[in-house]
Chain A
Amino acid sequence: MSLNYITPEFEIKRNYDRCISCRVCERQCANEAHIYDEDSKIMLADESKCVDCQRCVSLCPTHALKIVKNECAFRENANWQSDTIKEIYKQASSGGVLLSSMGNPKPLPVYWDKMLVNASQVTNPPIDPLREPMETKVFLGKKPSRPERNADGSLKTDLPPQLELSMPVMFSAMSYGSISYNAHESLARAAAELGIYYNTGEGGLHEDFYAYGPNTIVQVASGRFGVHEGYLSAGAAIEIKMGQGAKPGIGGHLPGTKIVGDVSRTRMIPEGSDAISPAPHHDIYSIEDLRQLVYSLKEATQYKKPVIVKVAAVHNIAAIASGIARSGADIIAIDGFRGGTGAAPTRIRDNVGIPIELALAAVDQRLRDEGIRNDVSLVVGGSIRCASDVVKAIALGADACYVATAALLALGCHLCRTCQTGKCNWGIATQRPELVKRLNPNIGRERLVNLMTAWKHEIKELMGGMGINSIETLRGNRLMLRGINMTEKELEILGISHAGE
């Protein structure tokens, strides 16, 4: 046994009373964890290759499979926990940076779970969303500070460009390349059907998806992959990505193995070349440079598209957001440190950035203190997991939320956190045609629509309970939240009272 040997993380438990050696598991596993032994005619497993994506378990016709955590463990040590030890073995063997995917899994505080929502009792009535209208429509974009009138006294009704959302949730950026064609198609069609938006990420827009332009946010990131005039004009809004919650302060790297065929064409880079996005935009080294890019993009699109600036939630986020609000952006998107991603250096994913709840509360308050809250809309992500997270985010002050991990889960993702390998058995984070075709975009679209429809119902129920019949009056309504198990300082930053107060 070599010095590098790490016990497999999972154990594949096969019930041989049930297994019929149909070899479905073998065919389904791109990691090649299942092996058919021709001699003995039984299925075997190489557990070192298993990532616990649950694909084989889900497709086994006789329910013979179970993937469980390997009980084989290092001697217990609260300081040197097994993940830490294994990472040391890996690095001692490879000399490389550790990579991982799908957001920070560490047991750091989730403030959404420490906030509780109000309901009406006696002094004002709850409202039943099944009986009364309950509005979730939101407009994102700059609002004028003073109305103007025509000569006849009527209001001039022209507005700066706005995004109209049927509910305050959008699918956040995931590039074509990092996820598959079928995943993109599912997101685009679901967004169109739902009356919301999805986001191209930094991979350009596949020509087949220009049809969904009215529900598309096109992203301009530091690599500028796939950016051209037609692309900018195709979307409903343009997002400048300055940073991302899963990996603040660093760029991106899509390996050449994923830059094939349409991905290469859409990104406008040669097949097989690595797509490396630099950490900064090389034309933005300061806030005044950002202003120039914002206005360059507005000039290129005749001031018809709102410009979003997306940043990671970092320590000085309130001041940064205030700077962005003053640099012409129509919408600010903030991504919390728990945000997901296809691949990120583990140390960065787990240690850089701050929780979105605190960032949102600080930014919303700062923009109000400066009297510029109506100059921009605020969108938050990283991570929004369910309808009550959305409601709490809106009550803290967000105009809308970005979701990505939840959307991928709806498409079949099982959060095995190995997107970086490109061997996604669910056809999502892969470009291998035989895997991509496993995700049926018709079903993908339907499941996304179902998920958002369910959330919308839940949002309405929660709003109705509070006696609120329009999402506008929930926005920034922090009196509807109470904290539990929090320090004075945490409550102060969130701008809420403790439960019982």
Chain B
Amino acid sequence: MKLEGQVRIPSGCAISAVISKEGRRMTGEKIIESMIPMHDRSNGLGGGFAAYGIYPEYRDYYAFHIFYDDSAAKSECENFLKESFEIVNAEIIPIRKIPEITDVPLIWRYFLDPLKSVLSRRQLDEKEYVARAVTAVNTKINGAYVFSSGKNMGVFKAVGFPEDVGRFYRLEEYEAYSWTAHGRYPTNTPGWWGGAHPFALLDYSIVHNGEISSYDANRRCIEMYGYKCTLQTDTEVITYIADYLLRRQGLTLEETASVIAAPFWSTINGKDETERKTLSYLRTVYPSLLITGPFSIILGFEGGLMALNDRLKLRSMVCAEKDDKVFIGSEEAAIRVMEPNAENIYAPAGGEPVIVKVKEGAF
């Protein structure tokens, strides 16, 4: 049977998220609970979480979470990392051994500082330098896989049901101002941990429910810019698109949403002149980064998140608020578990981005 990445595996999913606009940090308990009522949206072949604000003591360093197949891959990868980074700290990510999660790889965490001398020699922007290192490990070092690489954030994922994955990683011990969660329903997979979601690059993480029909158009376009879609999953390509548009092209979140879930031309033609010109420009310049087919995604980033549905709204997604918190879920039930008294529950329209930002200075 082919491994994930050698073959494209469609999957259905459950997603949820919670964020505090005040930057108040929450433990992982609630987000784990939110996945329980959506148990049947996953099939035990992948679950995961992204948490923002969890490493304040290492906030200036890139936190790499890496799966290793064996210690040989680990030493090869560490040798590679030492050429580009100072390893400020290296540790095993603490886990709780539970019967539901098996075939556990070596799971390590590194806090890395780019070597200034190498950085200046390669004439790269620091984030680009880090992104290229991630791509290099994932494509060149057999048995090593970087699944999280942002600052002051981390992804935790495994093969299993999401609520079990949460307990496995002891997420109740972490405190984050923003959490996203994912449960996966792949149609077939040999169960590789790297294939679970969220998928992340730098501080961007994506949880996604859907199967996009634009995949190969998107992949072949984004691979022109140095990304390598090694997993062949929608989530991976969507993450790269977000990174490309936001970080490398300098688009705003709203503009990015107008590229990947572009309004129909008939809608654009009804807008006032300024908006019409902007939207036409984005569709004309980035036609191959439009995403079609069903999706609901939550893009996590430092200081906020953005939820977005495909333009036809072919996947369910609801939002709600309570005090300083905003909740998002594939189902309202997920939100009700986190906050029984949630208010302003609504389903965003297709292509309508829901952008939540934490108060400046609070993260």
Determine if A210 is an interface residue (Cβ-Cβ < 8 Å).
no
Question: Quick one: CB contact mask for A112-150 with B, threshold 8 Å, 1 for yes?
Answer: 000000001001110100001101010100011011010
Q: Which residues of A have CB within 8 Å of B224? A: 368, 371, 373-374
How distant is B346 from chain A, measured CB to nearest CB, in Å? 22
Give the contacting residue for A477; candidates B215, B249, B314; CB below 8 A. B215
Q: Does the CB pair B213–A123 fall under 8 Å?
A: no
Q: Does the CB pair A154–B213 fall under 8 Å?
A: no
Q: Which residues of A have CB within 8 Å of B344? A: none
Give the contacting residue for B217; candidates A135, A143, A155, A477; CB below 8 A. A477
Query: What separation, in Å, do the CA atoms of A132 and B177 have in the docked complex?
Result: 39
Q: Which residues of A have CB within 8 Å of B288? A: 374, 472-473, 475-476
Known: A123-B10, A371-B224, A473-B291. A157 touches B277 (CB 8 A): yes
Q: Does the CB pair A479–B215 fall under 8 Å?
A: yes
Q: Does the CB pair A123–B187 fall under 8 Å?
A: yes
Query: What separation, in Å, do the CA atoms of A256 and B121 have in the docked complex?
Result: 68
Q: Does the CB pair B216–A478 fall under 8 Å?
A: yes
Query: What separation, in Å, do the CA atoms of A478 and B217 have in the docked complex?
Result: 7
Determine if A469 is an interface residue (Cβ-Cβ < 8 Å).
yes
How distant is A255 from chain B, measured CB to nearest CB, in Å? 44
Q: Does the CB pair A472–B211 fall under 8 Å?
A: no
Known: A147-B249, A155-B278. A473 touches B290 (CB 8 A): yes
Q: Does the CB pair A475–B287 fall under 8 Å?
A: yes
Determine if B150 is an interface residue (Cβ-Cβ < 8 Å).
no
Considering only CB atoms, which chain B residue lies closest to A367 in the complex? B224
Query: What separation, in Å, do the CA atoms of A373 and B220 have in the docked complex?
Result: 10
Determine if A162 is an interface residue (Cβ-Cβ < 8 Å).
yes
Q: Which residues of A have CB within 8 Å of B220? A: 368, 397, 476-478
Give the contacting residue for A123; candidates B211, B250, B278; CB below 8 A. B211
Determine if B189 is an interface residue (Cβ-Cβ < 8 Å).
no
Q: Does the CB pair B285–A472 fall under 8 Å?
A: no
Residue among B216, B255, B283 with the highest chain A CB neighbour number at 10 A: B216
How distant is B350 from chain A, measured CB to nearest CB, in Å? 10
Determine if A380 is an interface residue (Cβ-Cβ < 8 Å).
no
Q: Which residues of B have CB within 8 Å of A137? A: 265
Determine if B341 is an interface residue (Cβ-Cβ < 8 Å).
no
Q: Which residues of A have CB within 8 Å of B285? A: 143-144, 147, 159
Q: Which residues of A have CB within 8 Å of B284? A: 139, 143, 159, 162
Q: Which residues of B have CB within 8 Å of A467? A: 213, 292-294
Determine if B48 is an interface residue (Cβ-Cβ < 8 Å).
no
The DSSP consensus for interface residues of chain A is loop
Determine if A354 is an interface residue (Cβ-Cβ < 8 Å).
no
Q: Which residues of B have CB within 8 Å of A144? A: 285
Determine if B264 is an interface residue (Cβ-Cβ < 8 Å).
yes
Considering only CB atoms, which chain B residue lies closest to A126 in the complex? B213
Considering only CB atoms, which chain A residue lies closest to B278 in the complex? A155
Q: Which residues of B have CB within 8 Å of A472? A: 217, 283, 287-288, 290
How distant is A142 from chain B, measured CB to nearest CB, in Å? 10
Q: Which residues of A have CB within 8 Å of B251? A: 147
Q: Does the CB pair B264–A466 fall under 8 Å?
A: no
Near A by CB (< 8 A), chain B positions 239-287 give 249-251, 255, 262, 264-266, 274, 277-278, 280-287
Known: A132-B312, A473-B290, A475-B288. A159 touches B217 (CB 8 A): no
Q: Which residues of A have CB within 8 Å of B262? A: 470
Q: Which residues of A have CB within 8 Å of B286? A: 143
Determine if B210 is an interface residue (Cβ-Cβ < 8 Å).
yes
Instruction: List the interface of chain B (C-beta within 8 A of A).
Output: 8, 10-12, 187, 210-218, 220-221, 223-225, 249-251, 255, 262, 264-266, 274, 277-278, 280-288, 290-294, 311-312, 314
The 7 A-B residue pairs whose C-beta atoms are closest, nearest first, are A473-B214, A479-B216, A467-B213, A472-B287, A477-B217, A124-B211, A157-B281
* 12 extra A-B contacts, CB within 8 A, seeds A154-B278, A467-B294: A123-B11, A124-B210, A124-B213, A124-B293, A143-B284, A146-B250, A157-B278, A373-B224, A470-B292, A476-B220, A477-B214, A479-B215
